[in-house]
């Protein structure tokens, strides 16, 4: 089997993500093996699976001749970023109002980052599934 340029790029990207995931996991488990650490590891595993799915989809699209980026995907990316930014702003305002009730600041910050990331992924998935050309 001939390893194409895009397949090699995808494999290298996945190895990079996997090494970052491994280093993060070692750091989290070594520092805090509590429920928050386990939740963070589960979140990273989910994120790694999503990245692997995207890389496989990109490789399949490259094999069939579909371009990586087109006007529609660029518009979806910008629109999702716009909505995610404002939704994350409201999340951080909510955390600022009620975050003082927690004793550990790192839990509050980690939760805020995770919620913002999940919001971003959800908004992009929703806009991708429900995007129409006439609603710019």
Q: What is the pLDDT of residues 72-128, one digit of tens each?
A: 778 888 888 899 898 888 888 888 887 777 777 777 777 787 788 888 888 888 888
What pLDDT score was predicted for residue 136? Answer: 56
Tell me the CA distances in angstroms from 125 to 77, 81, 83, 134, 136, one per residue in order. 10, 12, 12, 19, 17
Report d(CA 97, CA 88) in Å as an integer.
Answer: 14
Q: What is the pLDDT of residues 35-56, one digit of tens each?
A: 666 666 677 777 777 777 777 7
pTM of the predicted model as reported, rounded to 2 decimal places: 0.57
What pLDDT score was predicted for residue 54? Answer: 76
Domain ranges of the chain: 1-68, 69-136
What pLDDT score was predicted for residue 1? Answer: 46
């Amino acid at each position: 089997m001939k390893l194409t340029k895009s397949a090699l790029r995808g494999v290298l990207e996945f190895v990079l993500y996997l090494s970052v995931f491994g280093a993060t996991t070692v750091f989290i488990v070594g520092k805090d093996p509590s429920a928050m650490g386990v939740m963070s590891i589960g979140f990273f595993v989910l994120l790694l699976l999503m990245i692997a799915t995207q890389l496989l989809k990109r490789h399949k699209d490259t094999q069939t001749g579909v371009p990586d980026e087109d006007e529609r995907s660029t518009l979806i990316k910008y629109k999702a970023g716009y909505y995610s930014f404002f939704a994350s702003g409201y999340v951080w305002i909510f955390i600022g109002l009620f975050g003082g009730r927690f004793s550990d600041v790192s839990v509050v910050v980690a939760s805020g980052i995770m919620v913002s990331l999940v919001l971003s992924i959800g908004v992009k998935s929703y806009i991708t599934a429900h995007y129409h050309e006439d609603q710019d």
